[in-house]
Amino acid sequence: MRICPAIPRFLRTFHNSVEVKNRFAATVTPILRRFEHVISRNVWTVVITLSLLCVAAAWEPSPSYSSPQATKKAFHWPAGKRVAVSLSFDDARLSQIDKGLAVLDSTGVKATFFVNPGGVEERLEGWKRAVAGGHEIANHSVSHPCTGNFPWSFHNALENYTLEQMSQQLDTANAEIQRLLGVHMVTFAYPCGQKFVGRGRQMKSYVPLIAEKFMVGRGYYDEYFNDPAFCDLAQAGGTAFDDMDYIQMVKYISQAAEQGGWVIFVGHEIGEKAHQVTDATALAALCKYLQDPAHGIWVDTVESIGKYILQQRGGQGE
């Protein structure tokens, strides 16, 4: 029987290495015993130091998640104005025509009304006067879909909408208002300030739909005013001012003026101050304040200010 020559070579090497190991142990053990107390005292120091060295060697800096850098662009309002303000009112509420129009027209301020066709039909002649008076009429959908968590929107819940259905809402409202008032609407306000359809993994934002169909899409209950050089016009911030008094309104505008912002106020009913009712007296005082040249305010419709921003950006709304 032939034996592979590698096997005896391996056995010889193994035997030799065992012998070397024994000899090494015989030499080193007495030395270790002699310094045993020193070693045991320092063993933890050595272990800890070695561990730290290993960790340091193995450590790689984690990838840095730096935020995208944006360059602040210069933006100037026309005629040296410091701030822009739009007054907007939603839902085509009756008091907007019955009470609000007279207040606005007596001061010359032009507002934006985000309407639903049904509300317009209830005061059709009044809305025609609003158009003739230079106010902007804008889209607020046909049936005002919001989350079904509001009991009144349970059967018209955004959670059950598709983008196609939402698109139909927008187109139908455009066509209806065109028929009733002869105006082509170019801005939109999200009902309830909500910008989604569907739910969970099927949920979709309908902001891109608004960007496609309108120049400006306005939100509601946003905690900021718009930076004209930066804001996404498809989701411009809207500030509720129904519940503010005159002093609060002026204070908010002064804050925006410090940063050259654009405030879009959002109201509903117009009359005596209450929940979702803009105080008519405060509104009259505010309009006077807005038009005083000393304050450097450009007050105009969402459409006019949106158009100016778009032009300044070379057509880039997003």
- In whole angstroms, give the CA distance from residue 122 to residue 145: 20
Q: How far is the CB of 204 from Zn ion (least distance, A)?
A: 21
DSSP string, 31-61: HHHHTHHHHHHHHHHHHHHHHHHHHHHH--P
Which residues inside 72-111 make contact with Zn ion, applying CB under 5 A? 90-91
# of chain residues touching Zn ion (CB under 5 A):
3
Q: How far is the CB of 140 from Zn ion (least distance, A)?
A: 6
Structure tokens that stand for 27 in this block: 């030499």
Q: Closest CB to Zn ion among 96 and 301?
A: 96
Structure tokens that stand for 134 in this block: 């230079």
Q: Closest CB to Zn ion among 88 and 226?
A: 88
Q: How far is the CB of 78 from Zn ion (least distance, A)?
A: 30
- In whole angstroms, give the CA distance from residue 274 to residue 217: 27
**Binding-residue pattern over the window 210 to 229 for Zn ion, x denoting contact by CB under 5 A:** --------------------
Instruction: Please report whether residue 159 would count as binding Zn ion according to CB under 5 A.
Output: no
Q: How far is the CB of 153 from Zn ion (least distance, A)?
A: 11
DSSP string, 191-255: GGG--EES-GGG-EE-HHHHHHH-SEEE-SS-SS-B-TTT--GGGB--EE-TT--HHHHHHHHHH
Q: Closest CB to Zn ion among 91 and 279?
A: 91
Q: Closest CB to Zn ion among 188 and 252?
A: 188
Q: Closest CB to Zn ion among 99 and 218?
A: 218
Q: Closest CB to Zn ion among 191 and 261?
A: 191
- In whole angstroms, give the CA distance from residue 210 to residue 204: 13
Closest residue (Cβ) to Zn ion?
A: 90
Which residues inside 171-210 make contact with Zn ion, applying CB under 5 A? 191
Q: Closest CB to Zn ion among 86 and 297?
A: 86
Residue 105 dihedral angles phi and psi, to the nearest 5° = -70, -30
Cβ(204)–Cβ(198) below 8 Å: yes
Q: How far is the CB of 243 from Zn ion (least distance, A)?
A: 15
- Given its phi and psi angles, is residue 304 left (phi above 0), alpha (psi -120 to 50 degrees) or beta? alpha
CA nearest to 89, candidates 222, 254, 276: 276
- In whole angstroms, give the CA distance from residue 264 to residue 298: 12
Q: Closest CB to Zn ion among 191 and 267?
A: 191
**Binding-residue pattern over the window 32 to 71 for Zn ion, x denoting contact by CB under 5 A:** ----------------------------------------
Q: How far is the CB of 92 from Zn ion (least distance, A)?
A: 9
Q: How far is the CB of 191 from Zn ion (least distance, A)?
A: 5
Q: Closest CB to Zn ion among 81 and 268?
A: 268
- In whole angstroms, give the CA distance from residue 205 to residue 145: 14
Q: How far is the CB of 247 from Zn ion (least distance, A)?
A: 26
CA nearest to 304, candidates 112, 56, 114: 112
Q: How far is the CB of 146 from Zn ion (least distance, A)?
A: 8
Residues engaged in binding Zn ion (CB under 5 A) = 90-91, 191
